[in-house]
A and B are shown apart, each in its own frame.
Chain A
């Protein structure tokens, strides 16, 4: 199981052919209190870099992009009633959606722990 990152502060935790996507602790801290999450629909086909979801803080809306290409297989419905899970537990309970990874090669192009840590220093 590996976790990779985008320069836009999404993470993707790879479990076999599936990726679990959310935003990093750094990103939730920067956005502040999340008050609304617009989830993608299950079955939606995304290309790497497509807008996949939107998280809204009190002040602003922020797009969440697809770290890799694939098909949305599941979304975190708990965020509909409790969007603050992204603030309190971004890497576990605050995940946003799962994606069936179309091209495993795209994972290699993402940032690893060290590179992401460098970016947010």
Chain B
């Protein structure tokens, strides 16, 4: 976490709401955001799994990448904008349907992840993509994408002028039915524009908790109105960054800068699904040589999930084999409120990565037992629509 002074911290349009709700404000990604509200991380976490949690994620980097000279042919314009961003990432963007979103990776030339991000194809216009990147990397990501686009397309940042809210949990859909009724027809990883107050909001059925839910881009002028409208529903409580982290960890989702960085490839990180089939066959993404070789089994380390006996093993804790030889390191670890035990993500050689393998983690100089388990630790409950024929 960056050490910023209060003077240089950015705020979101919801800062007054967070303070009024008793949010404990901390610097995160350059922003002043609540790590928790008075009920605490445990309660907020469980509420999200059972009802609906509301998160302010305005520190993230939403943007639009739009073709400069569209032909008016939606398919041709989509192919043209996909061709702008695909050389930077691992995903098949050309193959997206209108309104469909894909989780993908921004890669460097050696196949390391510069970021993980969401890319959506506009449901309305050809030649327009909705691109959402991480807070800590957004300036570099946007510069990289804009440079690659040159005069073919324009990247317009949507952070700053908009708030980004996440509504997550099994009741999220029933809450959204009263806010933007059309949004409940979205399937997982689809998005659309809907009316709220006097303007449009962009609603994506996506999130970072493993639950069904929505991520909503709302203009600053309407941000507090949307926040208040969502919280007016008894099923919704505000949730801070602390529970956001424990929820995503249980869901086995990587946190950029921890479980994923510029040295870690998608295959090592267990994100092979984010390297689309068409892209693999064409080998036309950065670092393809390394990533394809790793996909064939040429791996020296791979991300695993661990259930840890006893004290939580935090980031940086060494992972050992049964005889005490160091194998790797924990990249995220903590207590899983839904499971009542400590869990961790970390990297070990493939020889020690099979589910059920008993390893150890070193916590304050003592070796504790840890077992390799499948991730997610808590099953995902995304809303997937039946495939249209």
Chain A interface residues (CB < 8 Å from chain B): 32-33, 35-36, 38, 54, 56-61
Contact = CB atoms under 8 A, between A and B. Distances in A.
B26 to A, nearest CB: 10
B41 A36 contact: no
Given A33-B40, A36-B311, A56 B364 contact: no
Kindly name the residue among A36, A54, A58 whose own CB sees the greatest number of chain B CB atoms within 10 A. Answer: A58
A41 to B, nearest CB: 12
A33 B364 CA distance: 21
Interface stretch (B78-86, B104-112, B334-342): B334-342
A35 B342 CA distance: 9
B312 A32 contact: no
Dominant secondary structure of chain B at its interface with chain A: mixed
Interface in B26-52: 35-36, 40-43, 45
24 contacts: A32-B36, A32-B41, A32-B242, A33-B41, A33-B42, A35-B42, A35-B335, A35-B337, A36-B310, A36-B311, A54-B364, A56-B312, A56-B335, A57-B335, A58-B41, A58-B242, A58-B246, A59-B35, A59-B41, A59-B242, A59-B245, A61-B312, A61-B314, A61-B364
Nearest to A60: B314
Contacts of B242: 32, 58-59
Interface of B: 35-36, 40-43, 45, 242-243, 245-246, 310-312, 314, 334-335, 337, 342, 364
Contacts of A60: 314
A7 to B, nearest CB: 21
Nearest to B334: A58
B311 A38 contact: yes
Contacts of A35: 42, 312, 335, 337
A38 B245 CA distance: 23
A63 to B, nearest CB: 9
A10 to B, nearest CB: 18
Contacts of A33: 40-43
Contact of B311 (A32, A56, A58, A59): A56
Nearest to A35: B335
A58 B364 contact: no
A59 B42 CA distance: 10
Give the 10 A-B CB pairs with smallest separation, nearest first.
A35-B335, A33-B42, A58-B41, A33-B40, A58-B335, A36-B311, A32-B40, A59-B242, A58-B246, A56-B312
Nearest to B366: A38
Nearest to A37: B311
Contacts of B310: 36
A79 to B, nearest CB: 13
